[in-house]
Structures are given as structure tokens and as C-alpha cells.
Chain A
Amino acid sequence: MDADTALPSRAPTATTNELESPRRPLSLAARAAIATGFVLAGFLGLVGLTLSQANNERALSALHDRLQNFAIAYITNTDVNRYGNKLLPPSDTLPDPNFSRPGSGLYAVAVGEYGFHWESASAIGRDFSFLKPLQPGESQFIGPIDTRMGRLYYYSYGVALDTDDKKKSVQLTMTVAQTEAQFEGDNAVFRRTLVIWLSILGVMLIVLQLLLLRWSLTPLRKVASDMSRVERGDSEQLDSQYPLELTGLTERINAFINNEREQRTRYRHTLADLAHSLKTPLAVIRSQLESAAGDEPSRRNGVLVQVRRMDELVAYQLSRAATSGRQTFASAVPIAGHAEDLVQSLEKVYAAKNVLCEFDIDDDAVFYGEQGDLLELMGNLLENAFKWAGHRVLLIVKTQPSPGRQRPGLRLSVEDDGPGIAEDKIDKVLQRGVRGDERVQGHGIGLSIVQDIVHAYQGELVVDRSPEFGGARFSVKLAAS
């Protein structure tokens, strides 16, 4: 088939089903092509059959007429003398020269009473014993029958011939026969012509049909390509004009996409509310305990430690729940602008440190996912770097295009010129919940959050030493998809 066959495989739903059902139903184009192919073959076959049947009948009736004319011509030229002997026409008055050529396939035979038998020159030596005399006025057209001369059509006509004086009447049966070979020769030419033209017609119709199919499936292809634009994040929803039959589908898909987005937003807001309502009481407990002057400092410290643990748990679990991870309908979040915002914010907060943050960000670098996830990812990595840096931080964001994939891969790394992380400590730093720093303020959950986001987006987090600055380098790799 043509490219149409591959159409449904580009639809996103088909790719997810692929794993479960090894046999994919036939494509729409293939279905239509097969169906119309069969209908067309049947139709053209019937047309051919009908036409050839009609032609056969017409040829048969023409043959009938011809043989009848020959018989009548013979009879007209036949005389009976006064003794009642039949005088058959001489050979120069033959209705067709083939009657005089032996084995020509055209034969005339006359049979009469008392064993009268006459035959044309072409029929000499042939066996026409199967012919039966007919009553005057009777006629019959028979064929094809098998004889020694091959399959034969013949016309017989019974007449009563009067003598000149009208005293006597003799009966005669005139038969003109023609072999099938001659008759079939004409028919075969017709049939061949018919088959050729019907085949040409068939091919033309199939080509036309495929073109029509392509044209009428164009909207479906459009939906599929719009869908992958939504998937790539180039478009918010299916926003082209679609034919009436598809609007039901596309509107529902749009509704679904919107619904999914709204649900996510609602979910995030709920989490924010939850965070607020859980953390404020914790803040109250903490500040009251810390400000409470006086007695039993050891018990107070015990409670404070527990409060801190609760606080870390709440912060970590909430941010984990807010991470949405890899999505089918993710919008593309441009990275450069957000990175600049984050760096400006951090430069403000860490103004006293005089940190110089350079960045090298591809202009077209985008993150396929929630903007919040991107901000958490970069924010935590950058803040970490600002915390530990002496004076320099470097942020690199590179896209890694991979042909054949809709979304290019992404490599994001943050380096600093701080002390770095000793190789044997790296595992510990990445271990969830372990606080990599106790010295600098912060929940120590930043890296755990980063790891969770990276994990949710099926990425990879690598910690090593910055080749340029000598401090720590955190690299996040997100694969193309």
C-alpha cells in the first residue's frame, strides 16, 4: 500500500497499545482499499460476464440468422423436376464460397425421403448421419453439439417442394452447419477486447480510489500531526479546523487535555494549601519553643528535634507529591528566562557572598513538563551551588537533539568553585533524606527533591567534580522522547 497504511501508527494512542496487542487492526486506508478492491473486482467481473453473455447471445442469434439465410438461399435455388427428383443448385450460385471448400467449417446438407442425401462440396466425406429429417415448416437451431468435425452449430429447415405441375410434393430438410471454431474466433476477439478495457478501467478506478482515500483521510492525518504537536508542547490543544465528523472526537480530546491541566492545577493548589496549613502550626510550635525562656532546655530540645523532623517530612513529601513527572501532554517550558529569574533571585539573597554566576544556555532549550518542576530542579541545584560556592557558579543547559524523536534530550549542569564533594561522600549525599549540609541553613531536602524530580522524568543525576572550578558539579540528563 502507500503511506496511508502507516497513518494510525503515528497516533499516540496506538503506540501505547502496541505492547499489549501484537496484532494491530488494519489501517483505515488498507480497509478501504481492500473493500473497494473487492467491490470493484466483483463489479467489473459481473459487467464483463454480462457483456460477454450478451455478446454471446447476440452472436448466436446472428449465427442463427446467417445459417437460416444460407438454408433459405439453398432452398430457393432448389428445384424439383416432374419426377420428383430434387435438383440442388450448382456450385456457382453458392451463398458463400466456403461451401465449396472442403473442411472450411461451413457445410450444407440436404436430406429427403427415400434416402435422399445431398451435401455441399465442403461437406463431402463428412458424417452427418445425426441429422434427422423435419416436417415441412419445422425448423430448429441446435448447437453446439459434439461431432467428428468438432463442435457444431446447425440450422435445419423442413420444406415441401412442389413439382412444376403441382401434382407432386417432395419433402426436404435443408441443414446448414458451422463449426464452433469459426464462431468462437469472433467471440474470443470480443472477449479479449472486453478484458483489456475492463482491466484498464479497473486500474484507473483503483488509482482514483486511492487518491480519493488520501484526500478524505487528510483530516485524520491532520489530527495526528496536531496531536504530536500538543505532545511536543508546541501547541496547547488541537486548534485546527476539522470536518464535522471529527469535531466530536477533537473537542473531547481538547476537553480531556484541559481537564487534565486543570486537575493538575487544582492538585497543586490543594497541596499548597495543605503545606500552608501544616507548616504554619509547625512554625508556631517551633518559634514558641525557641523563644520560651527558662526551664528544662533538654526536653525543649527533644521536642524541637521532632518538630524539625516533622517539618522536613512534610516539606519533602509535599514537594514529592507536587512533582508531576513525565507527561504526554506537557507544554514546553523555555528554560533561559526561568534560569535568569532564579539566578537573579539567588544573587539578591546571596548578595553578601558576591557570587558571580555565569550561564551558557541554548536559546531553544525547553523543558517538557511542569514549570514548577523545572523551577524546583534548577532552584535547588543553583541554591546548593550558591551556598557552597566561593565566588563562582556556572549553569550549563544544552539540548541534545536526537533524530526521529519529537522531544530532544536535555543536559543541565550546575558547577561551583566550592569545596566539592569527596568521592566517597557522593553516595551519602545522594542518599535520600541524608542532610548533605548541616552547616548552612536549609532543609537539606533540596537534593532529595531534585532526585525525585529527575526520577519522575526518567532522567539521571550525576555528581562529580567541576573540571573548570574544582568544586561540585551536578548534572541532570533527560533523555529524548
Chain B
Amino acid sequence: MRILLVEDEAPLRETLAARLKRDGFAVDAAQDGEEGIYLGREVPFDLAIIDLGLPKMSGMDLVKALREAGQRYPILILTARGSWQDKVEGLKYGADDYLVKPFHVEELLARINALVRRASGWSKPILACGMIKLDTTAQTVTVEGKLVDLTSYEYKVLEYLMLHAGELVSKADLTEHIYQQDFDRDSNVLEVFIGRLRRKLDPEGTLKPIETVRGRGYRFAIPRTDGDDE
């Protein structure tokens, strides 16, 4: 999951970036609106966190510019003032959620997960594909009701694949969305992760949840059984 973080306050930006990375997100941090719009246009993010009080280009303008540039990923705005005027304006310009500073980091993570999930068409916090269930809130995975022990990178890879269940996800997509920019893309770490995931999810080899599309990428093969009964 690749996140754009635009925040001018260095300590906050660094703390948040570190925390997000620890949770398995790929984070690109920008310190002002101009850097934000540059990154936001170039990189295929899954979500952007934008502070409203930015130098050079206000957060509000940045949200507007990103939407005008055709970027569809969810945007979460951070506002210090917390006035409804800001919130309404930000949401009107294309943001999807807001958080008032200061906030719990846990709250931010929950919002991020919910936004990403919603953006890929899942309305409930638990992604269910057949026997495999991924709880985005608790960040746990169960197969046939049994908890599967995953590392945070493995979890992120699985989450990304399940969010896009049924769709072809290229290796480049996966690397870009899971890893930092400086990650060595030529290495076969990704194949190793996928291999480990397959073994952990499907030790007997009966479910075959992740299929390899030769030369193009991967697809989560089990269809969604996410009961949208609401």
C-alpha cells in the first residue's frame, strides 16, 4: 500500500512516516504543496494524507489539483483548525475523509485502511474470499477460521491482492505499492513472499488462492464472498 504524506511539520512528518512504514506501508513524504503535487501526479498511490496548512501551495489547492489531474485514490486531509468550513471545503474539493490534529495514530491507521478498502469496492472491514478472510481492522488473516501467522510485509501483499481480487496485479504494481522507492526491484524478493504466502495460506495446495499470470503478474483467484447485506 503506497501512501503519499504531505506535511510541512518535519517531526510530525517523520514520526508518521516511520510509523506507517513500520505498519507495512510504502510512504512517500513531501514537505510542501509543490512537492506534493509533483509526487501525487507521478506515483500511483493508494492513498494520500494531506495537511491543509501547507507552505507554497495550500492543502486545499493540492487536493483540487490532484483531482483535476485525474488522480482517483482516496485523500485524507489533516486539519489543525478543525473548523467545519475547512472540512466541508476539503471534502467538496475531493477529499474523502478528515482528521483533526492532534489525532491518535491508531485512528489514522484505521481511517487509512477503511478508505483503501472502500476505494477498491469493499464495504466491510473484513475481506472475505471463500475460506480466506482478512480482517483489515485487526490485521489478521484466517483460513477456514484458523488464524494464519503472517509478517507485516506478507500481510500487505495479501491485502493488496485481496483488495484487487479477481484483477491482474503486475509485479511492478506490487513492488510500487508495497515497497519504498529505493527497494531493489530486480531482486526476486517478491517471488519469495508470494511463495511463502501460498505455503501459509494453502499448505495442502487445494485452494490455490494466488495464481501466477506468466510474464505479467499475479491474480487473487478466489472470488469475493463479501456479503453486502446492508
Distance in angstroms between the alpha carbons of A304 and B129 in the assembled complex: 39
Contact of A287 among B16, B85, B91, B123 (CB under 8 A): B16
B96 touches A290 (CB 8 A): no
Q: Verify if B206 is at the interface (C-beta below 8 Å from A).
A: no
A352 touches B114 (CB 8 A): yes
Q: Which residues of A contact B88 (CB under 8 A)?
A: 338, 341-342, 345, 375, 379
Closest Cβ of chain A to B12, distance in Å, is: 4
B103 touches A286 (CB 8 A): yes
Q: A275-B80, A288-B11, A349-B97 are in contact. Are A283 and B102 (CB under 8 A)?
A: yes
What is the total number of residues of chain A having a CB less than 8 Å from a CB of chain B?
A: 41
Q: A283-B12, A345-B88, A345-B91 are in contact. Are A290 and B80 (CB under 8 A)?
A: no
B118 touches A291 (CB 8 A): no
Q: Which residues of B contact A342 (CB under 8 A)?
A: 84, 88
Q: List 7 extra interface pairs beyond A287-B12, A376-B83, CB under 8 A.
A: A275-B82, A315-B82, A344-B92, A345-B87, A345-B91, A349-B91, A351-B118
Closest Cβ of chain A to B20, distance in Å, is: 10
A290 touches B83 (CB 8 A): no
Q: Which residues of A contact B147 (CB under 8 A)?
A: none
Distance in angstroms between the alpha carbons of A441 and B104 in the assembled complex: 9
Nearest to B104 among chain A residues (CB) is: A290
Q: Verify if B164 is at the interface (C-beta below 8 Å from A).
A: no
Q: Verify if A236 is at the interface (C-beta below 8 Å from B).
A: no
Cross-chain pair count, CB within 8 angstroms: 106
Q: How does the 8 Å CB contact mask read for B217-230 relative to A, with 1 for contact and 0 for none?
A: 00000000000001
A315 touches B83 (CB 8 A): no
A283 touches B84 (CB 8 A): no
Q: Verify if B101 is at the interface (C-beta below 8 Å from A).
A: yes
Q: How does the 8 Å CB contact mask read for B1-34 relative to A, with 1 for contact and 0 for none?
A: 0000000010110011011001000000000000
Q: How does the 8 Å CB contact mask read for B114-158 relative to A, with 1 for contact and 0 for none?
A: 100010000110000000000000000000000000000000000
Distance in angstroms between the alpha carbons of A341 and B91 in the assembled complex: 9
Nearest to B13 among chain A residues (CB) is: A284
Q: Verify if A162 is at the interface (C-beta below 8 Å from B).
A: no
Q: Which residues of B contact A319 (CB under 8 A)?
A: 82-83
Q: Which residues of A contact B85 (CB under 8 A)?
A: 371-372, 375
Q: Which residues of B contact A281 (CB under 8 A)?
A: 9
Q: Verify if A305 is at the interface (C-beta below 8 Å from B).
A: no
Q: A280-B80, A375-B84, A441-B107 are in contact. Are A287 and B92 (CB under 8 A)?
A: no
Contact of B101 among A282, A349, A375, A379 (CB under 8 A): A282
Distance in angstroms between the alpha carbons of A2 and B96 in the assembled complex: 63
Q: Verify if B105 is at the interface (C-beta below 8 Å from A).
A: yes
A443 touches B118 (CB 8 A): no
Closest A-B pairs by Cβ, 5 of them: A379-B84, A283-B102, A375-B84, A276-B80, A345-B91
Q: Verify if B106 is at the interface (C-beta below 8 Å from A).
A: yes
Q: Verify if B44 is at the interface (C-beta below 8 Å from A).
A: no
Distance in angstroms between the alpha carbons of A315 and B102 in the assembled complex: 10
Distance in angstroms between the alpha carbons of A348 and B97 in the assembled complex: 7
Distance in angstroms between the alpha carbons of A282 and B15 in the assembled complex: 13
Q: Which residues of A contact B9 (CB under 8 A)?
A: 280-281, 283-284
CB-defined A-B contacts under 8 Å, sample of 30: A278-B80, A279-B102, A280-B9, A280-B53, A280-B80, A280-B101, A283-B78, A283-B102, A284-B11, A284-B12, A284-B15, A284-B102, A287-B15, A287-B105, A290-B105, A291-B18, A319-B83, A322-B83, A341-B88, A342-B88, A348-B97, A352-B123, A372-B83, A372-B85, A375-B83, A376-B83, A379-B84, A380-B84, A441-B107, A443-B100
B102 touches A291 (CB 8 A): no
Closest Cβ of chain A to B63, distance in Å, is: 13
Distance in angstroms between the alpha carbons of A378 and B88 in the assembled complex: 12
Closest Cβ of chain A to B125, distance in Å, is: 8
Instruction: Give A residues with C-beta under 8 Å from B.
Output: 272, 275-276, 278-288, 290-291, 307, 311, 315, 318-319, 322, 338, 341-342, 344-345, 348-349, 351-352, 354, 371-372, 375-376, 378-380, 441, 443
A272 touches B101 (CB 8 A): no
Distance in angstroms between the alpha carbons of A290 and B118 in the assembled complex: 26
Contact of A283 among B18, B83, B103, B124 (CB under 8 A): B103
Nearest to A282 among chain B residues (CB) is: B102
Q: A286-B104, A371-B85 are in contact. Are A348 and B80 (CB under 8 A)?
A: no
Nearest to B12 among chain A residues (CB) is: A284
Q: How does the 8 Å CB contact mask read for B26-59 relative to A, with 1 for contact and 0 for none?
A: 0000000000000000000000000001000000
Q: Which residues of B contact A341 (CB under 8 A)?
A: 88, 92
Distance in angstroms between the alpha carbons of A354 and B118 in the assembled complex: 12
B83 touches A272 (CB 8 A): yes
Nearest to B22 among chain A residues (CB) is: A291
Closest Cβ of chain A to B107, distance in Å, is: 5
Q: Which residues of B contact A282 (CB under 8 A)?
A: 101-102
Q: Which residues of A contact B81 (CB under 8 A)?
A: 272, 275-276, 318
Closest Cβ of chain B to A337, distance in Å, is: 11
Distance in angstroms between the alpha carbons of A380 and B118 in the assembled complex: 25
Distance in angstroms between the alpha carbons of A375 and B90 in the assembled complex: 14
Distance in angstroms between the alpha carbons of A376 and B22 in the assembled complex: 36
A348 touches B91 (CB 8 A): yes
Q: Which residues of A contact B105 (CB under 8 A)?
A: 286-287, 290-291
Closest Cβ of chain A to B94, distance in Å, is: 10
Nearest to A374 among chain B residues (CB) is: B84
Q: Verify if B179 is at the interface (C-beta below 8 Å from A).
A: no
Q: Verify if B98 is at the interface (C-beta below 8 Å from A).
A: yes
Q: Which residues of A contact B100 (CB under 8 A)?
A: 315, 443
Distance in angstroms between the alpha carbons of A341 and B84 in the assembled complex: 10
Q: Which residues of B contact A371 (CB under 8 A)?
A: 85
Distance in angstroms between the alpha carbons of A277 and B80 in the assembled complex: 8
Nearest to A285 among chain B residues (CB) is: B102
